[in-house]
């Protein structure tokens, strides 16, 4: 190897080290890895609005013709910052043979675009992936309307028709 070849190899090596060893991060990727969207309509904002304790104000059953029938019911719903929901209550429907006990405790997945939430069977404490969601009643969609002091949940059947409407208020 000649001195010229050695000098050229050193020159290439010296110029490549700063280019490859100290490369700037991809600004597009770095921007995507920033803080999550917390603005209005984001999942974070919806979760925050759901947080707290709610008291069942009313429950209406909707028949196949679309007629709503009020049903005597009471209950408490609580939701925490980690997507855990607890629902405890009793429905005293005169058409049922016995009172229906509400007893749900689990994590839920909130979809702020569709305004729906789904009970999820979580296998891990990592963020929810749609493929990991196991709906408790897949034929029922839970569509919600949320304001600071009111939560209205409309249960839709497989034909997308309302089957029940629960109105919750903050205590």
Domain ranges of the chain: 3-32, 43-169
Span 43-169: which CATH code? Answer: 2.40.128
Backbone angles phi, psi at 155, to 5 degrees: -90, 125
User: Which is more confident, 99 or 35?
Assistant: 99
Q: What is the pLDDT of residues 136-145, one digit of tens each?
A: 455 578 999 9
Decide if 146 contacts 123 (C-beta within 8 A).
no
d(CA 33, CA 78) in angstroms, rounded, equals 31
**Other Cβ atoms closer than 10 A to 62:** 18
Average of pLDDT values for 53-76? 94
What pLDDT, in 10s, does the model give residues 76-99? 999 999 999 999 999 998 887 888
Coil/strand/helix, residue 18: helix
And the tokens for 18?
């700063």
């Amino acid at each position: 190897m000649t001195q010229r070849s050695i000098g050229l190899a050193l020159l290439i090596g010296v110029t490549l080290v700063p280019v490859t060893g100290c490369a700037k991060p991809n600004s597009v990727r770095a921007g995507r890895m920033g803080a999550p969207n917390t603005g209005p309509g984001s999942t974070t904002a919806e979760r925050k609005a759901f947080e707290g304790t709610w008291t069942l104000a009313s429950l209406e059953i909707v028949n196949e013709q679309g007629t709503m029938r009020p049903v005597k019911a009471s209950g408490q719903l609580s939701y925490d910052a980690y997507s855990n929901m607890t629902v405890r209550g009793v429905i005293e429907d005169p058409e049922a043979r016995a009172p229906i006990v509400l007893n749900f405790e689990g994590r839920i997945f909130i979809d702020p675009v569709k305004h729906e939430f789904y009970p999820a069977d979580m296998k891990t404490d990592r963020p929810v992936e749609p493929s990991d969601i196991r709906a408790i009643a897949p034929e029922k969609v839970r569509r919600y309307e949320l304001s600071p002091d009111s939560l209205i949940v409309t249960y839709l059947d497989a034909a997308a028709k309302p089957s029940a409407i629960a109105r919750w208020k903050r205590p």
